[in-house]
Structure 1
Amino acid sequence: MIDVDLGDQPAVLAAGRGLQARSPVVRFFSPTELGLVAAARLNEDFGLGGNSLRTVTLLKDKSAMRNHLADLGLSPVRFRVVHSARELTAFLTELGGPGIVKPLDFGGSADVHRVDGPHRAAEIWSRVEAAGRERMLVEEFLTGYEVSVEGFSTDGLHTVVAITDKLLGTGFVEVGHSVPASVDEHVRAAIAELTARLLDAVGLVEGPSHTEIMITADGLRIIESHNRAGGDNIPELVRLACGVDLVRAAVAVPLGLEPWEKELPAPLGGAAIRFLSAEPGVVTDIALPTEGLEGVTLGVKARPGMVIPPVTWSADRVCGDVIAVGRDAVEAVARAEAAVARIRIRTSPVA
């Protein structure tokens, strides 16, 4: 095992090249966002196949993907990269409506801000600078119903394995997901078609993908996409509801260890996750239900003495989660939320 900081791109590349020199590697993989570009670069350096560096970079850089989609006329969204409060003000003035400011290359809903108009640009930019950022992507604020698309590609052919509902909490931090999404067959078919067009446009040829789409009054709009399985235990929900193990397939299929069955198995039912929360402070007591947990798995991580931070991005959800299955997503959600309502995590202010 080689211990290396995935956030240090040169160190990851050096470690990968050193490993290849000692013992030939068949393929480099990364299950996490931080290692995707490095894995693609190493695969390209050694001619190992997989998704190209260009493809992975397009998906990693939100502004690059927006520019690429704009050039193709696919899923039009007004956007701009800004470097100052003045530039943010100018774009919002042109936009004539609310915008959303986000980092170009980060996930987990970190440093994402809604801006209601030019009058709030200076306030929001002060937060951007406080986070140590010098440039941000600002887009028109899309309103509607957001879903994610869990896909898998082989030889450039794309399969939509599942469409996932998401539930937002404070700000843009997700507090839950459920599979399958509550969309009708017409919308489901349109989502699958748009996802395939997107993945073709960026040149994705293999492996899992996680694409976020907003269903708006003006049609479907792509928010972003990634050449990895979704976070937040979404692959586990897909496995429970659909019988497809995307994490296993991500490695086994490209290596030829298992075939990819393009005909998906019959759905098993529904699955849902709800993340636990507590008042910020030090955990003093935890009370968990012991009965009435049919189809429910408790993943409580909070412990007495643990410090619970305010939730500003996904990594702040440190209390744990509840995963439930049911005959359909409605029953799974009901079971998960009923369990959450019976969990008590008490805190006291940090001294």
Structure 2
Amino acid sequence: MPRPALILLEGHRGNGELYMHAAQQLGLHPITLSNDPAQYPYLSRGIYEAIFVDTGNLDALIRECSRLSTRYDVAGITGFAGEDESINVTIAKLCQYFGLPGPNPLSIERCRDKISQRGILGEAGVAMPSYRVATNAAEVKASAAEIGWPVVLKPAVGSGSIGVRLCRSIDEVAAHSNYLLGGEHVWRCPPKILVEEYAKGPFYCAEIMGNEVIGVAASEFSGPPHFVFRKTIFPAVLTDHEYERIVDVSQRCIRALGLGWGPANIEFRWTESGPVVIEVNPRLSGAPDPQLVRLAYGVDLIKEHIKLVIGNECDVRRTRSHTAAAQNLVPDCEGTLDQVTGESDAATVPGIAEVKFYIEPNTRILRKGNYGDCIGHVVAASTNLSQTEETLRRAVALISWRIIPFSA
């Protein structure tokens, strides 16, 4: 019989290798299709099968998947969005074409377009920040003035906080509008900017599989004007009432958008009036969030997602009640990473589950104010919050790095 295979579109610097391991544990041969397999370190080592394909070309992907089906029993297709959320739509279309389990392409497309997403959620009565849609600098300025300061500017389509910025004045709005519309930002669709009220309050993220909320994480950002995650704790410290409200709103979002298959995550701010939805993402959260869920609740979201992809039932029942936390490692300057020290010492601190760097020495570091600014993370877990936070603090304090500034 042909060997069962799992096809993955593109890779992921955090979750990618976790999917490889989980697929192999389930008896599957993982095969990655990518525009550039070498960009993912775990693929460049030659351990896993990777094939060069234009992942922006649906017909080319259909041909390659058809070719692979002559050698393997293609059990499922999934993948990673990265900077281009259109990959999620392509994955859904491929699953539909080959009659494999997968999400509804229309539902994924609705989520990908933040304007469409907001319109649907608004009709469903879901609380969201006030917003306007702009296509030029003049409209951006007028929209910001109507909403009031501060505002958040973001591309209508995108992920990883790419192009997202908090603006506190008309000058900052003008500068970021020029950046987004002046050619520096890469648009994969006609330029549309979401001008959004800045919702003040703690940030939470609901992790979902199918229609079920697995749990809620609390996160902090490294500081304005950008939104780069600095620290995440799972589960968030919430009252029963607060948790129930987030679960209720999450399920309303899932129903309104026609989701309910596979993973999703929903971002909130808890404002004076309660939970306000910032964004619904029809995919698994990036690393290290899946690790935090596994350490806190014993639920392996990656393995359970693959089970769904290949047509099996998933099991998201909690088997433990711990607290897990992660701190992202974010440099405060640009240059070339010269060396990292203390990584091994940090990994030996009792309670540390993972110390991981995404880049190696001699890598150029360019700060862009998005998820790509993180160069690694540290994960800790224990039976209680205070012990987890103290363990994380001790380990992070042992790590240091040196960055050589670029020559003038």
For 1:249-328, list aligned pairs within 5 A.
249-257=304-312, 259-261=313-315, 263-267=317-321, 269-278=322-331, 279-288=333-342, 290=345, 293-296=349-352, 297-301=354-358, 303-310=360-367, 312-318=369-375, 320-328=376-384
* Matches for 1:186-265 after TM superposition, within 5 Å: 186-257=241-312, 259-261=313-315, 263-265=317-319
Q: RMSD of the TM alignment (CA)?
A: 2.5
| Paired residues, number | 344
Instruction: Sort the Cα spacing of 1:215 and 1:94 in 2 relative to 1 into closer, same or farther, 3 A.
Output: same
Whether the 8 Å CA contact 2:304–2:316 is kept in 1: the answer is no
Give the deviation of 1:118 after TM superposition: 4.0
- Look up the SS of the partner of 2:126 in the other structure: coil
Cα offset for 1:344?
Answer: 1.6
Relative to structure 1, the CA distance from residue 254 to residue 298 in structure 2 (aligned partners, 3 Å threshold; closer, same or farther) is: closer
SS in 2 for 1:186: helix
Q: Which amino acid aligns with 2:88?
A: L
TM-score (norm 1): 0.89
Report how far residue 94 of structure 1 moved.
1.6
Letter in 1 for 2:218: D
SS at match of 1:100: strand
Q: Deviations over 1:142-192 (max 9, x none)?
A: 111111111111xxxx21112111120042111121111121111011101
* C-alpha distance in 1 between matches for 2:241 and 2:109: 32
Which consecutive residues of structure 2, in runs of 5 or more, have no partner in the other structure? 1-30, 37-52
- 1:4 maps to 2:34: yes
Q: For 2:149 and 2:329, how far apart are their aligned partners in 1?
A: 34
Distance 1:328 1:58, change over 3 A: farther
**Of 215, 218, 227, which aligns to 1:162?**
215
The runs of 5 or more residues in structure 1 that have no matched partner are: none
- Given residue 149 of structure 1, which amino acid in structure 2 is its aligned partner? A
- Identical aligned residues as a percent: 25
CA contact (8 A) 1:36 1:56 kept: yes
Task: Give the C-alpha shift of residue 29 in structure 1.
Answer: 1.7
Cα deviation for residue 250 of structure 1 reads 0.7
Give the superposition deviation at 1:120. 3.8
Amino acid at match of 1:69: L
- Report SS of the residue matched to 1:166: strand
44-53 or 96-105, which deviates more: 44-53
For the Cα contact (< 8 Å) 1:325–1:332, is it kept in 2? yes
Q: Distance in 1 between matches of 2:260 and 2:67?
A: 27
Residues 345 and 398 in structure 2, CA contact (< 8 A), matched pair in contact too: no
Q: Which range moves more in the overlay, 333-342 or 284-293?
A: 284-293
Residues 38 and 285 of structure 1: is their aligned pair in 2 closer, same or farther, counting only changes over 3 Å?
A: closer
CA distance in 2, matches of 1:290, 1:216: 40
TM-score by length of 2: 0.77
Task: Write the distance in 2 (CA, Å) between the matches of 1:100 and 1:241.
Answer: 32
Q: Which residue in the other structure is 1:138 paired with?
A: 195
Answer with 211-220 or 321-330: which moved more: 321-330
Residue 165 of structure 1 aligns to a residue whose secondary structure is strand
